[in-house]
Structure 1
């Protein structure tokens, strides 16, 4: 479906995975940097398409931002090696090293390249950018993070991710701001334990894989296509389930990792932070529900010649994944009892 028979593309996909493994298994900062560079050079050929101007623009934006972040990262780790004993300098350098990693994964306040770049990519490349490409910077961040700085970044992420998506009509930008909002939760999960972060990333990747697969199948890129392109009510129900799961509403699986993080925050008396994060999640849910409401309630003209052609196996897969999304919370709660 997504993978073509193009051997060069398969080669770059292999190197994309391989570069992440190099970075996360490296025992030196320099090894991590090499992995990041290979990752950058393998992702750019996958997203660039000479026939399409938006994808060329997106690949150029990606190259520039990632290069700047890589140069900063290399420079700051060299600085750290020089000023090893100086405590004030080390504290300042920890913020700068964290910043270069945050810039790499499109986290606020270094997020400005992210939504505009997402607009030029296909759904599958968006999925890779929002899930796989966050693994390496997040693991490098967990080696050496500045707690106070990361807490302020978490607040930035949840606020910008929620408010930025309010006035969007493009589904790709909507998913980008949703990704920024979820990144705030993911960073907090990373501060608790790496296992919780990995669990959050797996659940989040599962949720956006369904969304990207559905949008790819129905060839949707803007909100108005949702209520023009879905004559089938079952498709609308699937969209509703997955949007609410992504927003983190309780019976759906998207709430489960958030529940664990909320529980941890309450135990550690982080009431102000949890209040902000929950309020911002409500705003995210608001713009998801607004889309769902429009999709269900709008009365539109349906032409006789208009039909959504969808293969049965794709439709079965979407239904099955949506069922997991709906019942996952119940299964996982029973498992942990």
Structure 2
């Protein structure tokens, strides 16, 4: 992607737009940074020889343009009637503002565009959409905390992110619904403690990168392509699927650590019912990843091989997979040791 100079330019402006939004002191500058970010991401997703990417880019643009117009409308409305100091009106504007940001990052119940756009993009653009594109809306969302509406968004994200992926065979849609579920956890962590959100987001970015790196390296897009891994040894298949289980939050892997922090924090705040809902529905998302691993470990089929011309046994790739899996397994142990030392 970085071989073309125009893509490097748009990638730089993409990062610049996010930085402008999160460091601005006025709402107009925030809106301007979000627009720069949007207009920089569209050229990165479009490919002239791929109609699916063009369709996904158009859907993403229309959805983000609608969310930006709602955001600008709420900002203008807030400044017009701010002198009245009406609590009911400010509450309504806060709800509209929060809805626009939730639509921008694909949080339920405004997630209708997210799996469709993910399906039409390649893995690199999906990684940007799942990680970097959520930074600015999440930070701006922490500026206008509305507890009850946040609670509604958390529950909806956890439920839709879990149930929506049950009947999916596309790995990109599966990752989209998993991202929606993780958005519910990140929003729960941002309620009163942004440090937990920062830790959760960093771990989520690392685990998403490792999983997408595996899918990209093995050219996997659908669940039936997992059968192409049948000829591998069990050690290599273990190295491949450990990051998947870690992203699902299965203990004792690394992905359980940020969820552990959120669970501990919600327990200390007596949000027991919310925590039960989140944990129970997150077990469904863990089933997605267990289903992928099940087809590779417990089924034997040697005829289907989608990538005959690709060399999986390159020393470079095996080294990267080994390091990722080692950190996914023992990273939680190292973190616990650091906490015990401190």
Same fold (TM over 0.5): yes
Residue aligning to 1:319: 322
- 1:185 to 1:112, Cα distance in 2 relative to 1, 3 A: same
Residue aligning to 1:215: 215
2:297 aligned with 1:291: no
2:62 aligned with 1:64: yes
Paired residues for 1:27-38 under 5 Å: 27-38=25-36
User: Which shifted more, 83-92 or 298-307?
Assistant: 298-307
User: Which shifted more, 231-240 or 20-29?
Assistant: 231-240
Residue aligning to 2:125: 125
Structure 2: give runs of 5+ residues left out of the alignment.
Answer: none
User: Which shifted more, 105-114 or 226-235?
Assistant: 226-235
Residue aligning to 2:41: 43
In structure 2, C-alpha distance between the alignment counterparts of 1:264 and 1:219, rounded to whole Å: 39
Residue aligning to 2:109: 109
Name the TM-score, length of structure 2 as normaliser: 0.95
User: 1:203-241 CA distances to partner (integer Å, 9 max, x unpaired)?
Assistant: 000001001100000100000111224522333212321
Residue aligning to 2:331: 328
Structure 1: give runs of 5+ residues left out of the alignment.
Answer: none
User: 1:141-169 CA distances to partner (integer Å, 9 max, x unpaired)?
Assistant: 11112111011100000010000111110
Q: 2:311 aligns with which of 290, 309, 312?
A: 309
Residue aligning to 1:179: 179
User: 1:47-103 CA distances to partner (integer Å, 9 max, x unpaired)?
Assistant: 011110100000000000000000100000111112221100101111110000000
In structure 1, C-alpha distance between the alignment counterparts of 2:21 and 2:2, rounded to whole Å: 27
User: Which shifted more, 244-253 or 31-40?
Assistant: 244-253
User: 1:173-192 CA distances to partner (integer Å, 9 max, x unpaired)?
Assistant: 00000000000000111113
Residue aligning to 1:259: 260
Query: Cα offset for 1:293?
Result: 0.8
Residue aligning to 1:240: 241
In structure 2, C-alpha distance between the alignment counterparts of 1:49 and 1:320, rounded to whole Å: 33
In structure 1, C-alpha distance between the alignment counterparts of 2:138 and 2:236, rounded to whole Å: 34
In structure 2, C-alpha distance between the alignment counterparts of 1:202 and 1:261, rounded to whole Å: 14
Query: Cα offset for 1:307?
Result: 6.0
SS of 2:76's equivalent in the other structure is helix
Aligned length: 335
2:192 aligned with 1:192: yes
Q: What is the alpha-carbon root mean square deviation over aligned residues?
A: 1.4
In structure 2, C-alpha distance between the alignment counterparts of 1:43 and 1:192, rounded to whole Å: 31
Residue aligning to 1:141: 141
Residue aligning to 1:82: 80
- 1:314 to 1:301, Cα distance in 2 relative to 1, 3 A: closer
SS of 2:264's equivalent in the other structure is helix
Query: Cα offset for 1:315?
Result: 2.2
User: 1:281-336 CA distances to partner (integer Å, 9 max, x unpaired)?
Assistant: 11111121122111111110247994641332122112111211111111111111
In structure 2, C-alpha distance between the alignment counterparts of 1:88 and 1:303, rounded to whole Å: 62
